[in-house]
Amino acid sequence: MSDATDSVTDDRRETVGDEAIKNRPKARSIKPLALLWPYVKRHIGLVLIAAVFLVVATMASLTIPLLFGRAVDAGQGNTSGAQLLETIDRYFFYVLLAAVLMGILSALRFYFVSRFGERVAADLRTDLYAKLLGLSPRFHANIRSGEAVSRLTADVSLIETFLGSSASLATRTLLSTTGAIIMMLVTNWKLGGTLLLMIPLAMLPVIFIGRIIRGASSRAQSRLADAGADAGEALDAIELVQAYGQEERRRLSFYAAAEAVFQAGLKRITARAFMILAVSVMLLGGMVGILWLGARAVATGSMTPGELTQMILYAFYAGSGFGMLAEVWGEVMRAAGASDRASEILKETPDIRAPESALPLAEPSAGHLVFEGVDFSYDREGMPALKGLDLDVQPGEFVALVGPSGAGKSTVFRLALRLFDPQAGRILVDGVASTGTDPALWRSLFAYAPQESALFTGTARENIAFGSVGPVTDEELIRAAKMAEAWRFLEEKGGLDAHIGQKGRSLSGGQRQRIALARALVREAPVLLLDEATSALDSESERLVQKAIANAAEGRTTLVIAHRLSTIHRADRILVMDKGEIVEQGTHDALVAKGGLYARLAEMQFAAQAAE
């Protein structure tokens, strides 16, 4: 039976997670994109190759207006017909060559840039997932699983789009726009200067509205995470939802979350539309002015028709480039928002981590587990889960923990596994403190079968082998399954290759519990922790598993949490816990004779069994 004090309810977790989203710090610029720099450096070769193709392709595109202008001026000259046609043909052949070269180089640029974006996205996802796996249960209690998955999927997808498309497009557009303005100034500095004066005015809406877009994008991503978490929770508990007839209620809840995503996205779209409108009006106005001044210059003879053609094309390059930059800026700000969210995970400091100088553990370990004056509370201002707990479990000893809900039994297991660290006191195995060594090394000392048997989608082999520290043979897996009384039903389903369904849903509760027990037994760890290991078994299976537990406990330290007294009757010592303290300890017979809390628990259980 799990302890009320030892668990964080789903409602509280959802509330805390939503508050974390609302209170998330917002970036005010593209500074969060600095998160990506280490990944860029890691694949700098791809970036440089793509940059070369990008620059050469841009230069090829900028020669096209120049060649067009030369062709137009050639047509206006006094050259004879055959020579004129030859000149025009030559210039247009050059244009064709430039266009083909630009296409080839653009395709190569696209390949290397897209490959770079995919590579960085894969690396970032891997790092984020590794960080999430390393963060303590305290962190995961304060964030919804759907929110965490959103950081791995939706947010990284935005970053991937930015690196694999938007960043390249922005760089190319910036280069071509800058080049076009330079060529305009070279061709006619007055007309080029006119368009240049329009740039600061055109950039103002990009800067101010861009901030609005980034904030709206971040909110849209948060609301999307809400919708995903809401759907995930309902689908994960689909049997419960349908059993209670809550389909419509959950549908309406998801509709509200989806509508929030839409509203947040609508604000972002509206801001981007206003930005594009402002930039387009200003730049198109500048281009109209250039065309007007250019037409007057041709009429007065101060400018050739070819130069005007050149100016028009370069003005088109520059104008469309600024329009494109306005759109790309919105994508950049969305990526900045996603980077901001991803960086929160990567910058998170794990509560549980190895010290700078980790101590080695005894080999082989005797499994001598000691709690010395341990105080622990899940919340700083909450009720303590453990108060001054002293516990000494000798190597090979079989100890049972009993007590009412909220007594602190499961907290003992969580601290032993170093899922949390105590606020005071020490936990030691063979004289080495839990905080003095690497958490992974420390946890290798324990085999754990929780009350809620969490299984993974896949085969029985994968789920049982999950508990092994190193490589494990099929014979070892089968032996563990037999000890846990799981092999009989697995053999009927196909043995180790039997598919157990999504999260083990094709199995009964008792079968799932026995798979979880087999997973613990295959670990061959010196300390065995069993939390209500027989809670989901019928009487016959319970008897068989009790025998398996007795066999598994031989030669190793075993702690069992149980309320079925038949499970712990053979324990060397029974510890009775209440309100985070050990209030009684002894053998079953001695505790019953004492007439204390254990005797009352035993009396209630026997009465309940008699009533059945």
pLDDT tens by residue, 296-329: 877 887 788 888 888 878 877 777 777 677 677 7
Residue 143 in this model has a pLDDT that exceeds 80: no
Sign of torsion over alpha carbons 427, 433, 438, 441: negative
Domain residue limits, the chain:
30-346, 359-445+526-612, 453-524
- At 545 the pLDDT is 67
- At 211 the pLDDT is 65
Nearest to 30 by CA among 344, 341, 334: 334
In this structure, which CATH number among 3.40.50.300, 2.30.110.10, 3.40.50.1820, 3.40.50.170 belongs to the domain 453-524?
A: 3.40.50.300
- At 413 the pLDDT is 92
DSSP-based three-state secondary structure for 472: coil
Residue 183 in this model has a pLDDT that exceeds 80: yes
| Residue 377 or residue 344, greater confidence | 377
| Residue 17 or residue 601, greater confidence | 601
Q: Phi and psi dihedrals of 428, rounded to 5?
A: -130, 150
| Residue 410 or residue 91, greater confidence | 410
- At 5 the pLDDT is 35
With bands split at pLDDT 50, 70 and 90, how would you rate the model's confidence at 180? Answer: confident
Mean pLDDT of the chain, nearest integer = 79
Residues 346-350, mean pLDDT to the nearest whole number: 83
Tokens 């922790």 correspond to 529
- At 206 the pLDDT is 66
Query: How far is Cα 567 from Cα 548, in angstroms, rounded to an integer?
Result: 11
Q: Which of 66-70, 255-259, 306-310, 544-548 has the lowest mean pLDDT?
A: 544-548
> Which residues have CB under 8 Å from 411's CB, separation 6+?
3, 5, 6, 376, 385, 386, 420, 580
On the question of a cis peptide bond just before residue 364, with omega within 30 degrees of 0, the verdict is yes
Query: How far is Cα 114 from Cα 160, in angstroms, rounded to an integer?
Result: 9
At 252, list the tokens: 């309406």
Q: Phi and psi dihedrals of 372, rounded to 5?
A: -120, 105
pLDDT tens by residue, 444-475: 899 888 877 778 888 889 888 888 877 889 99
The pLDDT > 90 percentage for the chain reads 10
Residue 428 in this model has a pLDDT that exceeds 90: yes
32 and 340 in contact (C-beta within 8 Å)?
Answer: yes
Residue 13 in this model has a pLDDT that exceeds 80: no
Query: How far is Cα 269 from Cα 376, in angstroms, rounded to an integer?
Result: 49
Residues 116-120, mean pLDDT to the nearest whole number: 86
Domain 30-346 belongs to what topology? Answer: ABC transporter transmembrane region fold (1.20.1560)
Residue 373 in this model has a pLDDT that exceeds 90: yes
pLDDT tens by residue, 233-273: 777 777 667 776 778 877 887 888 778 778 877 877 887 78
- At 20 the pLDDT is 37
515 and 453 in contact (C-beta within 8 Å)?
Answer: yes
Equal fold, 359-445+526-612 vs 453-524: yes
Start-to-end C-alpha separation, the chain: 19
How do beta strands 557-561 and 527-531 pair? parallel
Per CATH, the number for 359-445+526-612 is 3.40.50.300
- At 75 the pLDDT is 67
Q: Phi and psi dihedrals of 558, rounded to 5?
A: -130, 130
Query: How far is Cα 165 from Cα 114, in angstroms, rounded to an integer?
Result: 7
pLDDT tens by residue, 189-243: 777 777 677 666 666 666 677 667 666 666 666 677 677 767 777 777 776 677 7
Residue 393 in this model has a pLDDT that exceeds 90: yes
Tally the residues of the chain. Answer: 612
With bands split at pLDDT 50, 70 and 90, how would you rate the model's confidence at 527? Answer: very high
386: enclosing H helix or E strand: strand 386-393
> Which residues have CB under 8 Å from 142's CB, separation 6+?
13, 16, 17, 20
The C-alpha R_g of the chain, in whole angstroms, comes to: 35
